[in-house]
Structure 1
Amino acid sequence: MRRVGIVLFDPVRVFEYAVAFEVWGVDRTDRGVPPFEVRVCGPGRAGVRLGAGVVCVPDHDLDGLADCDLVVVPGNEHRTAPRREEFPEDVLAVLRAAHARGATIASLCSGAFVLAAAGLLDGRRATAHWMDTEELARRHPEVAVDANVLFVGDGSIWTSAGSAAGIDLCLHLVRLDHGAAAAAEIARTMVTAPFRSGGQAQFIDNPVPAAPADPGDALDRLRGRVLDDLGHPWTVTELAALAGMSERSFARHFVRGTGTSPLQWLCTQRVLAAQRLLEIGDLSIAAIARHCGFGSPLTLRQHFTRRLGVAPRDYRAGFRGVGPARHG
């Protein structure tokens, strides 16, 4: 995914446009991130209102999307997205054409309404900002709307929840195509975590784990400690004691803060750590299993395959050929 097209037409939310451009439009090749060509495309290259008095003039018309590997549709400026008949037909047509030729298509926030209007979400899982999901389901009953996820992919079509979840999706798409190192480097320069727990809920299991958000919070400190020593045989009893809580209170606060149980979170973090080591390291499968707390290659393979649908050895073989972003 090297050529990225961002579709703009009135009125687009400035934040979602800025997110897409920040992820793919900033040259970070000096930091080991592969180069991207970003094309900002709009009908007739007419100026587009981005809200707050900001106007953007696309550098391509819609024909610029013809050979893009990824097409991104930012959210609409208004919280309630326009009705179907208000979307430009030439925009819908170019999205259908991009999908037909195999491009990856991603919407941010209420951009899901545009994909639905183009018929690209029919029979697929999709999401949008939690304030918009009921309306999306009402207007498009053929779409399997999931209000509990930060982002979701179905085939080559991706949708994300509101605003900040667009960052999660964009980084995830980089990660899928170029590996954890590239996504982590972009996140680092943006001063954001490569992966956020919580949000609308956690669905995608394989972004890079986040650093603790607030070192002053007991659970954040605890999660940071666990991430620093995933090979330790952590138990809920031990974790609750370290947090200074009863097991019942600890579990309740943990679920509230992360959207998942302590043991499910721990297993997810171990799989994520194994993914990163498989992508950028030379440790044996047995060593990775011990380092990440699985103990044996068999246990690693069971959890890894159940969550990702591919065995560790096959995953390593696939990601070792991804690209040049494996420097650090």
Structure 2
Amino acid sequence: MKVLLLCLKAFETMEFSVFIDIMGWARDEEKVNIKVVTCGFNKTVISTFGVPIIMDTLMDDVDVNDYDALAIPGGFQEYGFREEAFDIKTLELIRKFNSQNKPIASICVAAFALAKSGILNGKRATTYHLLNGARQKELALYEGTIVINEPIVIDGNIITSYNPQTASGVAFKLLEILSNTEKVDSIKRMMGFIE
């Protein structure tokens, strides 16, 4: 199995790294046949706080048929996250994964890319909930999006979450969809999330 980890300009490194770590633990410790492939508009993508990350592949080279799931970390609008999040290439990629009913996992404000693509129409979803819920109110303006103020919301093949703290939970939910609960619980124990 392959997870495409879409790293948009100004993504948050913590929200990115959970997918690498959790899927890596699952592969090495539980023998889950899973690989995470990083993807960006450019070979090097600069995160919110200025950390450059080298991508495995470029957006223009992605064939959705080669992947089993899509994961998108959020990022800071102030650093330009929405420039690539709202780019037509991003929106088309999201629509292609959704049209094949493949899991799409987003963290925090990455939900805006999903909403902009139209795939949240008629779906329950969440996004950043602090600052008096300003981002959730904004997300609710997208046609048909049903905003739920919960840490992680799953509706069909779509996972959304409401702040960086939920990042590991989203990655574990994606792993559970791609493997099973027993393997997730085993990895959670090994990583110290549960006793």
**TM-score interval w.r.t. the shorter chain?**
0.7 to 0.9
Residues 176 and 18 (structure 1), Cα distance of their counterparts in 2 relative to 1, 3 Å cut = same
The Cα shift of 1:85 comes to 9.0
Determine the structure 2 residue equivalent to 1:296. none
Q: How far does the alpha carbon of each residue in 1:136-175 deviate from its partner, in whole angstroms, 9 at most, with x for none?
A: 113x14200111x121121211111211212112212222
Number of matched pairs? 189
Residues 48 and 17 (structure 1), Cα distance of their counterparts in 2 relative to 1, 3 Å cut = same
Determine the structure 2 residue equivalent to 1:89. 88
Q: How far does the alpha carbon of each residue in 1:257-312 deviate from its partner, in whole angstroms, 9 at most, with x for none?
A: xxxxxxxxxxxxxxxxxxxxxxxxxxxxxxxxxxxxxxxxxxxxxxxxxxxxxxxx
Residues 55 and 82 (structure 1), Cα distance of their counterparts in 2 relative to 1, 3 Å cut = closer
Determine the structure 2 residue equivalent to 1:51. 48
Separation in structure 2 between the aligned mates of residue 64 and residue 99 of structure 1, nearest angstrom: 15
Secondary structure of 1:158 counterpart: strand
Q: CA RMSD in A?
A: 2.4
* Unaligned segments of structure 1, at least 5 residues: 194-210, 212-328
Is the Cα–Cα contact under 8 Å of residues 42 and 60 in structure 1 kept in the other structure?
A: yes
Q: How far does the alpha carbon of each residue in 1:81-110 deviate from its partner, in whole angstroms, 9 at most, with x for none?
A: 866897221111111112112321111111
Q: Whose RCO is larger (CA < 8 A, sep 6+)?
A: 2
Is the Cα–Cα contact under 8 Å of residues 30 and 183 in structure 2 kept in the other structure?
A: yes
Q: Which has the larger radius of gyration?
A: 1
Determine the structure 2 residue equivalent to 1:221. none
Give identity over the alignment, percent.
Answer: 26
Secondary structure of 1:4 counterpart: strand
Query: Is 1:145 matched with 2:147?
Result: yes
Separation in structure 2 between the aligned mates of residue 119 and residue 81 of structure 1, nearest angstrom: 21
Determine the structure 1 residue equivalent to 2:58. 61
Determine the structure 2 residue equivalent to 1:123. 122
- TM-score by length of structure 1 reads 0.53
The Cα shift of 1:53 comes to 2.5
Separation in structure 1 between the aligned mates of residue 70 and residue 84 of structure 2, nearest angstrom: 22
The Cα shift of 1:60 comes to 0.7
Runs of 4 or more, structure 1, over 4 Å off, are: 27-30, 79-86
Point out the structure with the larger strand share. Answer: 2
After the TM superposition, which residues 169-184 of structure 1 pair with which residues of structure 2 at under 5 Å, given as runs?
169-184=170-185
